[in-house]
């Protein structure tokens, strides 16, 4: 009887071991998930700057004159550190990531026809104090920081706002010195400041 029982247990063992091996997975799967980072910025409030027409100005620009898009005064420099009240514009980071913002400023053209008229061109120099014959200089400044200016060139400007948090906002303004020499026309002119968001990369 013992021999029969031992033989039966051995037979069961031989059957159970192959079945267990047959049930093991021969492959595994990994689910990969990702949340896309979407870049989006907008302006809250004004999207135009009538130079020398923000406060107390008469809306007419003079040669070789420094103006600020400062609601506290057209020729009033922002305080140091800069406060929101000295800034006409406000960025809204509508992205789901932190961003850097770069701003370029084009030459002035006729407001009515959009034609290059050959004066008030961007000097592409060192910023708002770097004007010249037929050339203006422009820079941006931002709130909640020590007063500093970032040059707005026609292309290739340095980063203006760094690490603006997702869904955050930032007040900012522009300083501009008009051309040195006399204007030759009273026709209204315009320029466009184009600001672009990019992904903030931590150093």
pLDDT tens column, 49-80: 999 999 888 999 999 999 999 999 999 999 99
Closest CA to 171 of 96, 95, 81, 97: 81
DSSP letter at 132 equals B
Return the pLDDT at 141: 98
Per-residue model confidence (pLDDT) at position 24: 77
Q: Which domain holds residue 55?
A: 41-199
CB of 38 closer than 8 Å to CB of 95: yes
For range 148-164, the mean pLDDT? 98
User: Percentage of the chain with pLDDT > 70?
Assistant: 89
22 lies in a domain? Answer: no
Cα gap 161→144, rounded to integer Å = 11
Domain total of the chain: 1
**Higher-scoring residue by pLDDT: 57, 173:** 173
Q: Does the residue 63 lie in any domain?
A: yes
pLDDT confidence of residue 172 = 98
Q: Would you say residue 179 lies in a domain?
A: yes
The pLDDT of residue 18 is 52
Confidence label for 12 from pLDDT (cuts 50, 70 and 90):
very low
Query: Quick one: average pLDDT of 166-189?
Result: 95
pLDDT of residue 10: 41
93 assigned to some structural domain: yes
Residue-wise burial string across 175-195, b where 16 or more C-beta atoms lie within 10 A, e elsewhere: bbbbbeeebeeeeebebebeb
194: in domain:
yes
Q: Decide if 27 is inside a domain.
A: no
164 domain residue, yes or no:
yes
Percent of the chain with pLDDT over 90: 80
Query: What's residue 44's pLDDT?
Result: 97
**pLDDT exceeds 70 at position 127:** yes
Average pLDDT score over the chain: 90
pTM, full prediction: 0.85
CB atoms within 10 A of CB 123: 22
Q: Which of 166, 42, 2, 35 minimizes the C-alpha distance to 97?
A: 166
């Amino acid at each position: 009887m013992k021999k029969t029982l031992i033989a039966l247990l051995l037979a069961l063992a031989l059957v159970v071991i192959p079945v267990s091996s047959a049930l093991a997975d021969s492959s595994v799967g990994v689910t990969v998930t990702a949340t896309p980072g979407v870049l989006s910025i907008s302006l809250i409030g004004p999207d135009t700057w009538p130079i020398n027409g923000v406060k107390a100005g008469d809306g007419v620009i003079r040669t070789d004159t420094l103006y600020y898009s400062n609601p506290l005064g057209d020729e009033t420099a922002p305080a140091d550190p800069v406060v929101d009240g000295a800034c006409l514009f406000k960025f809204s980071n509508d992205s789901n990531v932190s961003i850097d913002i770069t701003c370029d400023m084009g030459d002035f053209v006729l407001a009515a026809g959009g034609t290059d008229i050959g004066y008030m061109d961007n000097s592409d120099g060192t910023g708002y104090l770097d004007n010249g014959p037929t050339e203006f200089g422009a820079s941006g400044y931002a709130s909640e920081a020590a007063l500093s200016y970032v040059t707005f060139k026609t292309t290739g400007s340095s980063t203006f706002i760094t690490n603006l948090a997702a869904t955050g906002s930032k007040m900012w303004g522009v300083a501009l010195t008009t051309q040195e020499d006399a204007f030759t026309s009273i026709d209204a002119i315009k320029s466009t400041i184009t600001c672009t968001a990019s992904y903030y990369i931590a150093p």
